[in-house]
Amino acid sequence: MIEIIAAIDIIDGNCVRLTQGDFGRKTVYSEDPLEAAKRFEAAGIKRLHMVDLDGARSGKPANLHILERVAGRTGLIIDFGGGIKSEMDLEAVFDSGAAMANIGSLAVKQPERFLSWVDKYGRKSILLGADARDGNVAINGWQTSTGISIFDLLAEFAEKGVMSAFVTDIGRDGAMSGPSIELYQQIIRSVPDLELIASGGVRSISDVDHLQRIGCSGVIIGKAIYEKSIGLEELSRYVG
């Protein structure tokens, strides 16, 4: 069964969504991330993907107080990312209540440090985030193209013990244009040992059904829930 992972992105303490990572195309959906998290939990969702967009911009986690509040007042399993650059940052994220840290650009730029964290904290505690544009990895808030194939990156990390990754097709994120099914199928075929979490573009429950059929282990859903193109009750078959 595919795992449903609700998304909360935070700017200035508010729950927001960006379109294709563009801070100029921001929609504020809730002033209180805790209330959004409680709604997800009440619907049976058990997992939350929390991104500190202020931290991603500044290079250091900026919303740990919100993480601590959500972790302390819900039973959600939270993966948290945004601005994690050092082991001190990582420890602070775990101390604030996250079960997992999601790491993106640093994994690409400093793979040995990233893998040392996987070894130290465990494969279940470190979640790789890989963002793709036209099949290549992009970093630094999607602004920098690396020229590295997404397939090569995932295969290399899987060989070195990384258990799961979420992959975002940048062109689809927040666009409500459907998930990148072909990309995910190619990844599943080329890196079969990796637990693949789909991220970006989900617009309907049929998209979730399709991602389950092709073998994704999880799906991150944000805008579709906030825009009510997927009702929380529709997800009941996956969160019971």
Query: 44: helix, coil or strand?
Result: coil
- Which amino acid, one-letter code, is at 96? S
**Sequence ranges of the domains in the chain:** 3-239
Q: Alpha-carbon distance 187 to 179, whole Å? A: 14
CA atoms within 13 A on the CB side of 191: 26
Q: Would you write out the chain's pLDDT as a tens digit for each of its 240 residues?
A: 999 999 999 998 888 766 555 555 567 677 799 999 999 999 999 999 999 989 988 889 999 999 999 999 999 999 999 999 999 999 999 999 999 999 998 999 999 999 999 999 999 999 999 989 888 898 866 566 778 999 999 999 999 999 999 999 887 665 567 999 999 999 999 999 999 999 988 999 999 999 999 999 999 999 899 989 999 999 999 997
**What phi-psi label fits residue 144: left (phi over 0), alpha (psi between -120 and 50 degrees) or beta?**
beta
Q: Hey, which residues are catalytic here?
A: 9, 131
- 3-239 fold: TIM Barrel (3.20.20)
Tokens for 60? Answer: 């250091």
Give the helix ranges, DSSP H, for the chain: 33-42, 53-58, 64-73, 87-95, 105-109, 111-121, 150-159, 181-190, 205-214, 223-226, 236-239
Say how far apart CA 237 and CA 222 lie, in whole Å: 18
User: Three-class SS of residue 89?
Assistant: helix
